[in-house]
Amino acid sequence: MQRIPEPEELMDDAAQAQAYAEADFSEANQLFVELLERLTKAGAQALSLQGRLLDLGCGPADIPLMLVRRHPQLTVDAVDGAPAMLDLARQKLAAHPDDEPRIRLMCEHLPCPGLAAHGYDLIASNSLLHHLADPGVLWQTVASCARPGAEILVMDLARPDSATAVDTLVERYADGAPPVLRRDFRNSLFASYTPTEVEDQLQRAGLNQLAVTQVSDRHLAIAGKMPF
């Protein structure tokens, strides 16, 4: 099935952002955090993630909050290009004053020239890739911001084989959701990339050390370690 790009890259409509923030993405967020901990051995060996993590496309900051609460030696630079999303993130951080100092919210557009070059021990991104008309800007940011040996985890939707398969996933995971979320989920499935397309992106970006795997019926993960 051919990819259909989303109408807009940024989710900056206030009502749309609010609906997104109120939706229950706990299953996907938990999967992402567990994948990151598994990648870094933090979960299996009861180790704590530490150092600086860059979260690209942080949205309302649910994942940064989960990570700093689970890993007290971790700090996060949380980047999003949508001011409406960052407004919601600030509200969430204000409700968690003990965790707020370890999360820095940044309004940036990829490739984020203002970020520290090779300044991050971990780079993470959840559900950003399919929004991008030029996916190369994500991989450019990863390559320029990662320290030697940094761990990388990008998770996103995987484009189904057909419109029928898209409709099946929408009914399965967005049944009863507000119409704006059902519409956005459907658009996102059409706009997402296939594993083969992502492998081609990595090849062009010189990031062959990252591996692409399907991790759920609707998600793929791109993970690995940057060379020293």
Q: Write out pLDDT tens, residues 97-136.
A: 999 999 999 999 998 888 989 999 999 999 999 999 899 9
- Is 72 part of any domain? yes
For 29-77, give the DSSP string: HHHHHHHHHHHTTTTTTT---EEEEEEES-TTSHHHHHHHHH-TEEEEE
- pLDDT in the model for residue 42: 66
pLDDT tens-place string over residues 29-72? 999 999 999 988 865 554 678 899 999 999 999 999 999 999 99
The answer to whether the CB of 110 falls within 8 A of the CB of 141 is yes
The alpha carbon of 26 is separated from its chain's Cα centroid by a whole number of angstroms, namely 14
Residue of higher predicted confidence among 39 and 211: 211
- Is 4 part of any domain? no
- Is 92 part of any domain? yes
Read off the pTM: 0.92
Domain hosting 89: range is 14-225
CATH number of the domain within which 221 lies: 3.40.50.150
Share above pLDDT 90 across residues of the chain, in percent, rounded to a whole number? 76
Q: Which amino acid is at 101?
A: P
Domain count, the chain: 1
- Is 181 part of any domain? yes
Residue of higher predicted confidence among 196 and 46: 196
- Joined tokens for residue 126: 């959840």
- Is 25 part of any domain? yes
- Is 205 part of any domain? yes
- Is 145 part of any domain? yes
- Is 8 part of any domain? no
Kindly list the distances between the CA atom of residue 79 and the CA atoms of 56, 57, 71, 133, 183, in Å, as whole numbers in the listed order: 5, 6, 19, 18, 25
